[in-house]
Every structure is written in structure tokens, then in C-alpha cells.
Structure 1
Amino acid sequence: MKELKTYYLLLSLLIYIPTYAQNYNKQFDHLKVEDGLSDATVGSILQDDKGFMWFGTFKGLNRYDGYQINRYVYDMGGNKGPNDNMISSLIQDSDGYIWVGYFNNGISRFNPKLEVFEHFTGGNTKDHLIQTGSINCLFEDKEQKLWIGTEKGVAVVQKNRKSSIKYVLSDHKNSINGEQVYDIVEDKWNRIWLATNNRKLSVYNKNTLQFSEVEYTDLPLDDLEDNEKKNLCIYNDTLLYVCSNSGGLAEYNLLSGKYTTYVEEENGPSSNNIRDILQVGNKLWLANDGGGLDIFDVTTKQFENISNSKVDHQSLSSNVIWSLYKDNQENVWLGCYLQGVDKYDPRKNFFSTIGNDPCNTTSLPNKPVLSIYTDSKKQLWIGTDWGGLHRQKKNTNNQFDHFNIDGTITDNMVYDVVKCITEDKYGNLLVGTYSEGLRIYQNDRRTYKQIKRSIKSDGLPSNHIWAMITDKFGMTWMATLGGGVVQYDADTQTCKALDINYQNLSQHHIYHVYEDSQSNIWFSTDGGVIYYNRSENKWHTDLLSTLIKDNHNISYVKSVYEDKLKQIWLATASGLVKYMPESNQFTLIDEDDGIPQLPLYNIIPDNLGNLILIGKNYISKLSLSDEKIVSFHIPNNSFNYNSAAKNDRGEIMVGGTEGITIFNPILLEENKHLPPVYITGFDLFNIPQLPHDSTSVLKKSVSETEEIVLDYDQSVINFDYCGLNFTETDRNQYAYMLEGFDSKWNFVNNRRRATYTNLDPGKYTFKVMASNNHGKWNKEGTSIDVIINGPYWYSNWFRAAVLLLFILMFYVLHRIRMMNVKKKFALERIQADREQIMIQNDTLEKELDQTKSELTNITISHLHKNQSLQQIKSKLEKMSVTFGSTEKRKIKNLVREIDKESENHTYWDEFEHEFNKSHNNFLERFKHEYPDLSKRELRICAYLRMDLDNQEIATLMNISIRTVETSRYRIRKKIGLEQRKSLSKMINRY
């Protein structure tokens, strides 16, 4: 099967492609100012190393990702935009910098990483990279030197981009041959070719470091304007093509030196004024200034012109084209004057449209196409909605004869709805209509007959005939809307409604009729599928009943087809149902399996046996070998059911609201380009973060950033992303996840923004992947790390401080607890000691009281004794007056003995001991404080402490009161006691 498929593919390509190229116009997508372009005139185009498209306009620089345009406009004196709005040329060098040349203000170097511009102005000094501010072209050679073509020669900027060599027109032999340089290319022999304003080309040989001139055309080109703005293109290393303002196209053979010129007047290009040239495959595309697009076949030397059509919105936007560029997906971009950018996508140009041309009366009417039929004479018939019947004229594409109801050709509009077309077994044309029954055209449409439903006849149950076929046995089967199945007899030209045991009224609404390889007849209805088994001569109306119970949408069947493996395929509102009669098994293929749109309307095979599935706006190819589906969006037509056919070249035609879409299904290839994925924007609190903004968290472009660091309170973040696939961009699919937060991928269809809020501090990785329009996923995608710093209380130093503080607090609390324990213990000890002291104090007090009592007793006893002795002494002294000397002497001795007794030292020692004991060593402390006091004075102080008066003190000491007073006076002096203060109180307080 694989070898057979390859054979058919090669055969189809060899036979079919030239016809296809001749018959169908190329289709273009348009990008205009309303889509975001800063200006409608685009003079230069570039694709950078990431895949973004750049457009240089007359109002700044534009970057395009397939969805939206970022504009960089003139930033006077700044580095956020170009240094001028009038952009002449663009190039990206090997270091990734984008160089922007201006018509009038020098050149700028754009740093994609930092998104800033560095500007260079023209001048004649060595410090200037360029000698003038008017830039015409940019080119980087194999040694990565940058050649800048200007209005005053060429500047060759060295690889380090710090210096340049300038070549200008001069009398010196080794110089360029013109003032202005408009284009530069390099051949494989190390030669640089420069298109100057001289009639001849200037060539610089890098091996010999010499300039020379080369003739490239046989035209005189005497006028200066004829020589200006030449463009160069080297084709397959051997042919150099040159185009200019008025010189047409010149072909110069780099090997032989021979040249040929193609001009408009001699079957050449559509215009001699060619602005740009580009190799696309084995052809050259020529951008004409007023003549549209020319495609030159290098092999056949033939030109094909493509121009703007006012009635075809997919044609060129303008016939004035200034620039051409081919991207890495083989798309061709065309910069137009005043009309923006056109894009030619070879993957979308499998399809072309045959439709209404208001300027051509022989084109199809501006009505939906409902039916397509090729008769036995290879004539194509088209039935339209309220536009009648039409036949394609021989050897034409969009020219038709229009038929009246009676079969005659007319130039007028025929308000008739033709739903289906076929032939009976005699070759008569049968036309099924809406509300007007069946029309029969015999003998090459010279005889006309109409069959309509009649109250008196039961032949035609409904005038709404939706589908017809004539089977292998010559029987014509008709499907009606509301009337069920009808047979048409060509011999009698009569209709007969068949009596079938329909399951429900929905089976009376039939849309399609099909005959399989066993001559069984299948009918697609609103109540499932019914079929007539010819070998059994039996009708089956419940084939899908089990499936319909589980999924009612399967009951809406619009088409049936049997493949070469004898499998039956049903197009339903729920998907594609595969029925295998031998095993009586069913398989449903739906949107999860790759069908882009439901319901399905038609199934038709290509020449290799693959199934072509028709939806409302999609055409899909299902490979029978692996059941893989590749689908294509058709934005310029909305298809109808039962309106598809295949011609003898293998092309499939599908009718819709805008006419017929025609294509070769063998050319429908899967887009295998894996779109590179980039993060294109980062918002913080919905504010875009730009690297040149001082408040931004980004230091370079987000697409170049590996890590973003945020604070914990920067809680709302957005990521914008895109996959660079410029084919059916709106069908690109995306999936993203935030690793560390999301547990699985978020598949979000074509949505290109992810939002996260209130993320916890930590490290995350944002990942995104994308698929192209055919579901081919770039699973590697791209990623960026996001670090959210915690508040200071999340930091390690803070945690360490808290830990230390906790330890300290634990230690302090432990210490306090231990101190409390100790304090409690000490208090308990103190309390115990206090109790002990109290006991001791009580004991001491008792002892003291006892001592004081004993002291008092001793003192009183001694006082009484002295008082008694004083009384005895006084009596003896009175008695001695009357005694003689001898007796007086004896009495005097007795008195002396009494005085000795009064001064009893034993008494004082005992008194002193007891006194110190009961008065806290008063005498020792007082003696220590006042060492000048005599023993008598200390004794008087002790008596004063006991609150004794002078008389008692005198009695105890056996002295006079006068002596006591004198002693007290002396004591006051010795202790420095003021006169007004009491000695007794002072002693008592001591």
C-alpha cells in the first residue's frame, strides 16, 4: 500500500501541478494598519533568529508574532525606539543584533535582549561607521562583516563592529563604480557584487582585494533612472539576476559570463520597474512597482503575473510591491505601498475558489452552490440556491452557461433552487429542486419535462428532492425532504414512493444517497441511516439504533461512503462513524480524535483511498492506513451538505455559500513545523514589565530572562506567550503549568495568557508548550523560573534570630523558673530561718527580759543597799559629833568601810556584763565611738540608758548629785552633743 501511495503521489504531482498552477490564482492573507501596523507602506522585511517577523515602514519598526504587532516608533534622543521613522532596510547579524537602516538618519543597532537601540550617524571621520546618513541596503558576508550600502558608497563594518572601511567612487582604479549602492550579494567564489547607480555592476574580489566592473545587460540604460535601485539575487549559486527601475529582469551566468535581459515588451515581466527579487523554490518572484507580482520560471523562462482583484479579497492588496521575504516556514511576505503586508502561505494555497465575478457575466451567480455533478460527457454542472442551473464552458475555469427552467441558455437570473443533479440510464439530465419537484432534460436538453407532487397522484410524495443517484442497474433513487425514498423509472418517466417500514418520521428527511460495492443503496436521514440490501431484497432501518440511544446526535447522518476495505463510513453530527459489516462493530471518531468541526457534511475519497471529510468551514483528510486526520480551515467559504464531487483529474470540488472550493487532495500535507515557543510578556499587577523601565523587575527582555525575582506582596502576575507558526495561527494550541503550584498541564486551546495570584513564597517554574495548526506539539516549549521572596520573617537570618530568641527566652524562662524555685526554696528557708529566728528572738527576748530583769534587780538591789549604807553612814556621821576622838576615829573608819562597800566593784562587773548582754554591747560600742569617755562617764551613760535619774545614779555610784551633773556636762562636750538636745534621748537612740 505504501508503494502504491507513493506511485500515485508522484504521478499526480507530475501530471497535475502544472494544470493547477495555470488554473488557480494564488491567495494572500493581509496585514494592515487596522491590524496594528504603524504604517501602510512596508519597504523592508526580516525574520529574526527566533522566528518573529519585522516590518520596516515609513512610521517605525514593527514586530509580528502571528497574533499582534509590537511597534517601535521614533524616540527622539532616546534608545527605546528607532532614530528615525523612515526605514529603508533591515538585517540581523550573526551576533543577534538587528540593524535598522534609515533613508535620512543613519543606522541603528537593536539589542533584542535589552530591547534598546544604539544609534550611529554618518560622517567622514574614522569614528563614524558610515560616511552618510542615507542607507540603501544591508548585507553580512561569510566573514560576518557588515556591508552598508549608502548614497555615498559602501561601508564595511568589521566583525568587532567598532571600525569600518569605506569605499566610495573615486578616480582611483580600485574603487566602486558608482556613488550609490542599492543591493549587495556574495557568490560562492568569494566575490561581493554591488548594485550601484552605474550602468555596470561593481564586483569586489575578497581574494585579491580588488574592484572590477561587470556588464550584465544588453539594454543601453542611458537614462540615470534606468540604473537606479537595482536589486540582486543569486539563484542556485550559478545565476545572478538583476532587476532595476526600468531595466526589467537580467540574467547573468556566473560561470560563463553570458547574460540575457527580459523586458515587458518582449513577453517578459508585466513591468520593467522591479523593486525586489526573491527565489522561491525553482522560481523567482518579482515585486513590480505597479505591475503586481511576477513569477518567473527559471527552467521554462516563462512569466506568470498575479495582480490585485477588486472582487477577490484574497488577491494581492496592491499592484505596487516594494519588498519580498521568505521565512523559515516557506511563507512569502510581500511589503506593499500604502496597503501593508501580504502573506503567501503555500500550505493554504492548496485551495482555490470558483465563484462570482461581478465583472464577468459568464461566472457563477452570487448564490450558494448546492450541487455539483460531472456527466457522462465530462461536462460540469452546478446547481445553486435561487440561482438555477449552470454548466461550465469547455477549457475554462470560471465561465458558465446559465440555464432557464426549460433547459434553454439565458443571460437572466433564474430564481430556482437546484438541490441535486444526476443522469438516468439513458443519459437524460435529472434535476432535483426545492419545492418544484423533478425536472427532466432529454435529447441534450431540447425536451423538457417536470414532475411535481399532485393531489391526484401518489407518485412523488414531496416536491423537495434533496439527493439522487442512478445505480449500476439503471434504477434512479431519489431522496426527498419529508417524503422518504422514491424510485424514478426512466422508461415510463414516473416516480414511485416506496413503502418502507420507517422507524420514525425523521427517517423521511433524507439528505444523501449512496451505492456501495454490493449495490446496496444507503440513505442518510435525520433518524440515522437506512439501507436497501439488494441480495436480501430487504430494508434495514435500525442499524444505528443502539448508538443513537447513547448519543442522539448520531441520528443526524449527512453522508455515507464505503472504502476499499469494505468499511462503511457515516458523516454525522457527532462525528465520523465507522461500521464494519462483517463483525457488526462501530467506532466513533470525533473532535477528540482530530475532527476540527461538527457536524460533518460530506465524505468523498481521494485517488489514494483516503477520506476527505467536509465540515462547514473545514476540509480534512483521514488517512485510511492509520486513521490520522489532517484538517484545513477554509475561511472564505461555508460549505453545504451533499455538495461535493471529484473530477477526472482527481480534484475535489466542494460547494458553499461563496461558490466552489477546488483542490487536489494529494497535495494536502500535514504541517510538520514545530512552532518555537516564547514568553513574550510579563505583567505585574497588570502593568507590563519592560527592561528599559527603571521600575521594572526585568533587566532584559522577558524572552531572554531565565529568572524573575519578586517580593512576597507582588501577588498578581501575568505571562503572555506565543508559538511562532504563521499558518492558520488561530488554530495553534497551548498548554502551560506553573511547576510548584500546578499539578498538571493546563490545556487552554488558543488562549495566550496565564494569570496567577497570591502565590506563596518559594521557587516556581513557568512552562509553556504549543502546537501548530495540525496539532504538532513542541513539547520542549520554553520556561522561566519565578522566585518569590518571603517577608523578612521568612528569611534565614530572621528564622535564626527567632530560634536564638526562642532559645534565649527558653533559657530566661528556665532561669526565671529556677530562680523562682530557688526563691521559693529561699523563701521557705528564710521563713524557716525566720521562724527559727523568731523562736530564737523569743528565747532571746525572754533571756533579755530575764537579763534586764536580773539587771534591774541587781541595780535595784545595789541601789537599796547603797541607800541603806548611805543612811547608816549619815547616822554614824551624826553620832560622831558627840563622840570623842577615839570613837570618831573608829566611826570614820567605819564610814570608810561603808564607802568601800558602796563602791563594790564586783557589782559593777556583774552589772556591766548583764548590761552589755541586754543592750547589744552598748558600752563597748559607745566606748568605741567615743574613746575619750572615762569609765565613770560610761557608767553614767549606762545608767542614763536605763532611764535612771541623777539622784539614783549618784546613789548607785556613791557620789553627789553635783558630781553627776558635772559628769553629764563633760559627757555632752566629749560626744559633741548640742546644748538644746537631750543626752538621755541621744543615748537611748544609740
Structure 2
Amino acid sequence: MCLRKCILILILSTLFVHISFSQRKIMYTKPVVKDVQTKFINLNISDGLSNDVVNDIIQDKKGLMWICTMDGINSYDGREFIVYHNDKNDSLSPQSDEVYCIEIDGKGDLYFGTKKGICVYIPDNDKFKRINLKGNDFNKDDVYIRQIKYYGNNGLWVEILEGGLLHYNILTDSVDRFYKHAPTHQPYYRYHPIYYDRDSTLWIGGRGLNPGYLKKGSSELKFIKSNPEDINKKRENDVASYYEDSRGTFWVSALDGIYILDRKTEIYKKFFKTSTWYIFEDNNDNMWFTGGSGVFKYLPDADQIIWFSKDKDNPASLSSNSVYKVYEDYHGNLWFATNNGLSIYSPELFPFGSYSHIPGIDNSPQGVNVTAVAEDEKGGLWIGYEENGLDYFTPRHEHFQHYNKSNSGLSANEVSSLNLDEENNKLWIGLWRGIGFNSLNINTMNFELFSLNTANTREDWYNDFIEDDFGNFYIGFWGGQGLFTFDKEKGKFLKSLKEKFPRLNLSRLITRFLKDNSGNIWFGTTSGGLYIYYPREDTSKAYFSDIEDNRGLTSNSINDLCIDNEDNVWIISNTLQKYIPENDSFLSYGKQDGLTSYSLVSLLADNLGNIWVATSDKGLFKFNVVEELFTQYTSHSGLQSNKFSKGRLKLSTGELFFGGTNGFNLFSPGYIIKRSSIPKPFFGNLYLNYEKVFPNLNTSPNRLFSPDITNIKIELSSTDAVNPERYYYQCILEGYDEDWVNVDSKYREISYSFVPAGTYTFKYRIGDGERW
């Protein structure tokens, strides 16, 4: 009997606690979108980082990145890591190799918090000065530093492991305030925040600590107690991070999730339940939450959370799911400190949304070579592949649903074209198999096969579909019957129109359809020129590239057609051409204008008046129609590869879709066209007679070299440590060089040997091809 009572009490107690916890309503209840396509740049010990466990990151005033780890301090200029370790025989080295935090003061000096105290970096000799934290009843040599915060007036706030907040006065080199509080539990949790809000209130926290604050002008450190049974309070005694965003929302995070705190009433609202170690707002007002489950990006305007995590099958994913901090550099790149090195998210480096097949990840394109695409009224995309069937992709949720011959009624996996009939909820699917084409009833998800000739596989090859203004539906055969009409309602082939076009055999090799704003049907062919069919008159016109036709068509192989916002028709063959209706001719743009590829496969006109040309060998070209200027983008710009295929579409949103041989790119042209900022240059290391010397040219620009210095090497650095190779570099030694000297963008260094005695001025500049 006693046993039964004890069990009953235990169950009731557990139930009571569970109900109390569950009453905390979660503000964010929508599904989280998993992003597996965003590319991260990952750096670790194999790249020269001293240790993979990264605790903190900062960029100094010059632009050099500094990283502190569990085994040393690192600087990084986009070229190499320079590592600083504790040396027991060198008092000008850091006190410890366990370095937990970095802070920069108003003068630009860097302070490092280690397991045994604070040190400041001295750039004149590339050494460190150790700081003795003494004064105001505080006097200890070896202090376990957890966090440092600079806040004007030459002062540093410092949190220590044993429980205390102290203020170090830089000018007097002494501790002038000390507040004792409870020690931090479980120091292996490395978070330990010090944060200033806009009211100049100082906030502190840590593992096992209640939120603490020190108001401006106050000498009393206060705490907000947690209470698991009060839904208006935080559940646990734990604080990992604070952040006041641009909207004035004050965020608090810990192992028990993310909260929003009303600082006047001290009432909490729980926003997100995932354990979170750090909160940050980027320059685009997006919130970032990091912890033991990867990285979450919150888009406040869309009220949407996107989740990034490590995936063993994707080397370009986040390097680890344990992410301690995030830092935004001068160029908007986000640096994530993880327990497996650094992960860098660079929107500017990868402005083209890129989607590729990732083996082992179901929520990625099932195919490699994209051949076709169609958009439905909901903004979803049907995507066809050369050998892998169909996908239905919802961009908003980053979700792929796969259809192929083995899991659906699709008759073949070789998809050549797609056409969406919104009125009848049907998707028409061209197949490159010689067996016919499919329709898909989107309501019932049933496939149906239509074949012109089931006894002959040489006729049923399909390249495009199109409907005219009168409801006539046309099929573009490659070979066989050429232009053919089809009754969509009855599912019957009607008649071939091949006799209406000259050069009968060649006009049947249709590549692509286009309907102009007058309702006329244009189509290109593989080698038979360009044609227009006039449905109203049932007549046609043809254009050829030969001695008998002087209208300017440069090739009989027409790969694609498009129409721009001004109703101009554009075509591509081995050049880009614009149709001039006034004299029924074509204007050409090619290699002499900057279009350096002859292998042009698809094109689109954007809503900004530009023409985009995809190639099968040299990436993507944007043509500025007004300036008649081409800009080239390659895989270095974030394209799926330099090889594109014929699948392309301008979406209802104005975004452009280009398919390639390694997936597809989906992007907003306005974002691509927006110029990025040119990084600020600064000097890297200085070498005299092949020996590195200090101070370098940043701290000591006026130098007198002795006659025995026969070789001078200067490294060129910039504020862009993520992708410095994409810029152009030039130097000039005035008085020696006659003009600016081009410097290799990969190595970014220049050497001078046996320069005659004299007075010289060395200058260095960076450009992006248009500006310096």
C-alpha cells in the first residue's frame, strides 16, 4: 500500500511540473526552414588555425581579423594565419594559450582575456603586454578571465570565473571598482556575457547565473530572479547572451531558450525554445541565434526562421553544430566561431542563390543537369533534369519533392521541356527519349503519355510547348514533324505545319519557342535558321545566315529567344542579337563587345532592362543595353558552375532562374547589379633582406633604410579577408616606377631589389575593374 502511494505521489508531482512548464507560450510557432544549399567557407587547423575550438573573433581598425582559441591567438589577413602562443621564457607573450575573449578599445588596442589574465597586443614589436589587475581590494596575478567589454572613458569591464565584475582603468592601470557575485557553474560552457544596452545599463550573465544589471550611475549590482513556476519569469538560472535590436527589442538567451525581456516590468516572453548561446543582429536587421544545434537566422519582416547546420554529406555546410559566437566584418561577412574552426557566411561572395544535388541529402535537387523549369501560381517551381526526372521546389520553404520513373507515373527520366497549363491544372512534360511526352494532372497527380508514333522512336523527341492567343497548342518536335498542333482537351495530335516553312528538313529541328506581344510564334532551330509563324494569317517568315539573306542573322543555329520590357526580341546563336523591326534586320553583340564565349545556351531579360546570357563554358554574362557593356560572372561569383544548360525562366517575382550542369541559380538581378564596396587597403608584413621586421608600414610609414638593405618585400592587405583575390591590386614606388604596377591578386605582394639611394613614396590601391 505504501509503495502504491509513493508511486502515485511521484506521478502527480511530475505531472504538476510538466503543466507548469508547458504554460509558457512560445511566440514563434511556425515551422523552421532547413537550408542545406547556403555555402560556408570553412577554415580550421589544416588551413593554419592554431586550434579548432574558436572562442571569439574581432576585426581590428586596420581590417585584420583576430581569432582566439583554446590553444593560442591568431591573426588572419585572407592569406595566412599568424599564431601567437604562450612562451614561459618570454614575458611579452600571452599568459596562457587558453584565450576566451577579445575586445578593442577606443584607440584600437586589442585586449585578450586568457585563463591567467589579460594582455594587450603591441603592434610596434608584435608582442603582448600583460596587465596586472590590482586595486580597490582586488589584487590577483592569475585571474581566469571570462569576458571583457570596453565602454568609453578608457575603461574595461571584466568578468572572472570565480564570480566577480571588475572595472579596469586603462589610464591608471588599476582596478577601480569590483562587484562580487556568485561564481559561474560548469566553466566548460564558455558563454559569459557583458552587454551595454542603449540606456547605458550594463548586463552580465553566465552559466548558472541570474540576469544581472548595473544601471548608469548606480553602484548596486542587481539580479532578476528566475522562477520555473512563474510564466512571466525565466525558467532557469542561466544567461548566455543579451542583445537589444534595432527595433528596441531586448533579447535574452540561455540553455532554456530565447526570451524577450521587458526591462521595466521584468516580464519575460519566451520566443524560441532551442538552447541558444549567442544573439546577434546583422546590418540587414536579420537576427542570428547560435548554439549547440547550429545557426538560426530570423527574418523579422517575414517572421521566418531559417536553420543552418552541419551535414556530413555537404563539405560546404556549417563546419560544426556547436557555434559559440558570430561576428560581422566590415563587408557584411559573418564569421562563426565553432568547435571545429571558423565558418564564414558571405552573401556578397555568393550573391547568386545556388542549388545543387548533394548526395545523401534528400532535400536537394535530385538531378544534376537542369533542362527545363515552369512556375505555378503559388510560386512553386517544376524543374526537369536531363536524366533524373522532375522536382517540385517551393522557394519559400526551400523544399524539394521528387518525381521520377521509379516512384511515379513519369514515363521517362529524360525531361527536355515543361509547360504549365494553369487553367486546366496540367503540366506538359517533354521527354527526350523517343517515346512521346507526358501530361501531369496536378490535382490527381496522375501522369499520361502521348505518342505520335509508337512504332518509331525517331519521331517523338520534344523540345518545347507553347499556346497562342487563340487557344491553339503547339508542340516543338526536334525532327519528325517540326511544328505540330495538339488538342489538349482530347489529347490528340492534330496536324503538322512543317509545309508552311522553307527548308523543310532543317525547319523541323526546333529548339525553342517564343510568343511576341503581337501573338506571333517565333522559333529557332538547330541548324535551319529562325522562323515566325503568324497564327491569325496562317503564314510564316524565315531568316537565314547565308549569302542569299542579308538581314544580319549571324548563324542558322538558334539556341534561345526572349523578349524584353520594350517588346524587343533577342536571340542567341554564337552571338547575342537584337531584332530591329524597322528594317527587318538584326544587330549583333559578340566577342568584340565583351561577350567572350561562343557557346551561348540560354537568355533572359530582367525587369531592369538588362539581358542575361548563359553559356556552356564561361558562366553568365549580363548585358547593359544602354551602355552596351557586358559583365561576366563565373563560379567564383557563386554560380552552380561555369556550364549552363537550356533551362531558364523569369519568375513572377522578377527573379531569374538559370539551370546548369550542377544544379541551378535563382537570384534577384537588382541584388547582383548593386555594387559592392571596395575594401580599404592596408600594409601587411614588411620584409627586409627576406627577414620580417617590425614595426610595419602601418604604424611606422616613414622609414630610413641602410645601404645594406638590397631587397624589400611588402605584403598588401585589405579589410576583405574572405575573398581578397577577386580585386585588382596596383602599386607604385614614386621616383622609381614610371607607372602603376599590377600585382598578382593571389599572392598580393611586391618586391624591390637594389633600388638606388634616394627618397621615394610607396603607394598602393585596390579596384574592382571599374573603380579604384
TM-score by length of 1: 0.62
- After superposition, the C-alpha distances for 1:831-871 in whole angstroms (9 at most, x for unaligned) are xxxxxxxxxxxxxxxxxxxxxxxxxxxxxxxxxxxxxxxxx
- Residue 734, structure 1, aligned to residue 738, structure 2: no
Give identity over the alignment, percent.
20
Question: How far 1:452 sits from its partner (Å)?
Answer: 6.2
Give the 3-state SS of the residue equivalent to 1:719 in structure 2: strand
Q: 2:417 aligns with which of 408, 420, 426?
A: 420
- After superposition, the C-alpha distances for 1:471-514 in whole angstroms (9 at most, x for unaligned) are 4453636363xx59921232545556568667999x99765443
- After superposition, the C-alpha distances for 1:637-664 in whole angstroms (9 at most, x for unaligned) are 5553221123444443332334343334
Q: 2:667 aligns with which of 652, 663, 667?
A: 663
CA distance in 1 between partners of 2:119 and 2:301 (Å): 41
CA distance in 1 between partners of 2:598 and 2:645 (Å): 12
Give the 3-state SS of the residue equivalent to 2:317 in structure 1: coil
> Match of 2:476?
478
- After superposition, the C-alpha distances for 1:777-803 in whole angstroms (9 at most, x for unaligned) are 3x3xxxxxxxxxxxxxxxxxxxxxxxx
Give the 3-state SS of the residue equivalent to 1:722 in structure 2: strand
CA distance in 2 between partners of 1:380 and 1:82 (Å): 56
Question: How far 1:129 sits from its partner (Å)?
Answer: 8.0
Q: 1:70 aligns with which of 78, 82, 89?
A: 82
Question: How far 1:673 sits from its partner (Å)?
Answer: 1.7
RMSD: 4.6
Question: How far 1:139 sits from its partner (Å)?
Answer: 0.7
Give the 3-state SS of the residue equivalent to 2:119 in structure 1: strand
Cα 1:615–1:81, aligned 2, differ >3 Å: closer, same or farther? farther
Q: 1:258 aligns with which of 261, 266, 269?
A: 266
CA distance in 2 between partners of 1:528 and 1:126 (Å): 91
AA paired with 1:39? N
Q: 1:324 aligns with which of 312, 317, 326?
A: 326
- Residue 641, structure 1, aligned to residue 645, structure 2: yes
Greater helix share, 1 or 2? 1
Question: How far 1:375 sits from its partner (Å)?
Answer: 6.6
- After superposition, the C-alpha distances for 1:48-105 in whole angstroms (9 at most, x for unaligned) are 1122221111221222233433333333333675332211000111122111111x22
> Match of 1:336?
338
The answer to whether the 8 A contact 1:218-1:261 is kept is no
Which residues of structure 2 form unaligned runs of 5+? 1-29, 186-190, 488-492
The structure with the larger Rg is 1
Question: How far 1:207 sits from its partner (Å)?
Answer: 2.4
AA paired with 1:476? Y
The answer to whether the 8 A contact 2:78-2:723 is kept is no
> Match of 1:138?
148
- Residue 309, structure 1, aligned to residue 319, structure 2: no
AA paired with 2:667? F
> Match of 1:40?
52
> Match of 2:12?
none
Which residues of structure 1 form unaligned runs of 5+? 1-18, 170-175, 692-699, 780-990
CA distance in 2 between partners of 1:376 and 1:220 (Å): 48
Cα 1:615–1:749, aligned 2, differ >3 Å: closer, same or farther? farther
> Match of 1:386?
387
> Match of 2:8?
none
The answer to whether the 8 A contact 1:420-1:466 is kept is yes
Question: How far 1:294 sits from its partner (Å)?
Answer: 3.2
The 5 Å alignment of 1:400-411 reads 400-404=401-405, 409=409
CA distance in 2 between partners of 1:423 and 1:297 (Å): 32
- Residue 57, structure 1, aligned to residue 55, structure 2: no
CA distance in 2 between partners of 1:475 and 1:237 (Å): 53
The answer to whether the 8 A contact 1:558-1:641 is kept is no
Q: 1:285 aligns with which of 280, 283, 288?
A: 288
Give the 3-state SS of the residue equivalent to 1:34 in structure 2: helix
> Match of 1:537?
540
> Match of 1:120?
131
CA distance in 2 between partners of 1:740 and 1:614 (Å): 47
Question: How far 1:676 sits from its partner (Å)?
Answer: 0.5
AA paired with 1:66? G
The answer to whether the 8 A contact 1:33-1:340 is kept is yes
The answer to whether the 8 A contact 1:129-1:157 is kept is no
> Match of 1:701?
696
The 5 Å alignment of 1:717-796 reads 717-725=712-720, 729-747=724-742, 750-751=745-746, 752-772=748-768, 775=769, 777=771, 779=772
Cα 1:86–1:442, aligned 2, differ >3 Å: closer, same or farther? closer
- After superposition, the C-alpha distances for 1:296-348 in whole angstroms (9 at most, x for unaligned) are 567898765433333444432221111121223232221111x2111223446
Cα 1:93–1:591, aligned 2, differ >3 Å: closer, same or farther? farther
Cα 1:494–1:609, aligned 2, differ >3 Å: closer, same or farther? same
TM-score by length of 2: 0.78
> Match of 1:109?
120
AA paired with 1:601? V
Cα 1:283–1:599, aligned 2, differ >3 Å: closer, same or farther? same
Give the 3-state SS of the residue equivalent to 2:277 in structure 1: strand
The answer to whether the 8 A contact 2:484-2:497 is kept is yes
CA distance in 1 between partners of 2:61 and 2:395 (Å): 50
Greater strand share, 1 or 2? 2
Give the 3-state SS of the residue equivalent to 2:698 in structure 1: helix
> Match of 1:681?
685
The answer to whether the 8 A contact 2:348-2:676 is kept is no
The answer to whether the 8 A contact 1:105-1:121 is kept is no
The 5 Å alignment of 1:284-683 reads 284-288=287-291, 290-296=292-298, 305-337=307-339, 339-347=340-348, 351-353=352-354, 356=357, 364-374=365-375, 380-391=381-392, 397-404=398-405, 409=409, 416-422=413-419, 430-434=428-432, 436=434, 438-441=436-439, 447-451=448-452, 465-472=462-469, 474=472, 476=474, 478=476, 480=478, 486-490=482-486, 492-493=493-494, 495=496, 497=498, 511-519=511-519, 521-523=521-523, 530-532=530-532, 534=534, 537-542=540-545, 558-571=559-572, 576-578=576-578, 580-582=580-582, 586=587, 588=589, 599-615=599-615, 618=619, 631=633, 633-637=637-641, 639-668=643-672, 670-683=674-687
The answer to whether the 8 A contact 1:43-1:87 is kept is yes
Give the 3-state SS of the residue equivalent to 2:220 in structure 1: strand
The answer to whether the 8 A contact 2:498-2:504 is kept is no
- After superposition, the C-alpha distances for 1:690-710 in whole angstroms (9 at most, x for unaligned) are 21xxxxxxxx12333424444
The answer to whether the 8 A contact 2:370-2:646 is kept is no
Cα 1:415–1:39, aligned 2, differ >3 Å: closer, same or farther? farther
> Match of 1:243?
253
The answer to whether the 8 A contact 2:33-2:398 is kept is no
Worse-superposed segment, 520-529 or 229-238: 520-529
Q: 1:85 aligns with which of 83, 97, 110?
A: 97
The answer to whether the 8 A contact 1:275-1:322 is kept is yes
Cα 1:236–1:716, aligned 2, differ >3 Å: closer, same or farther? same
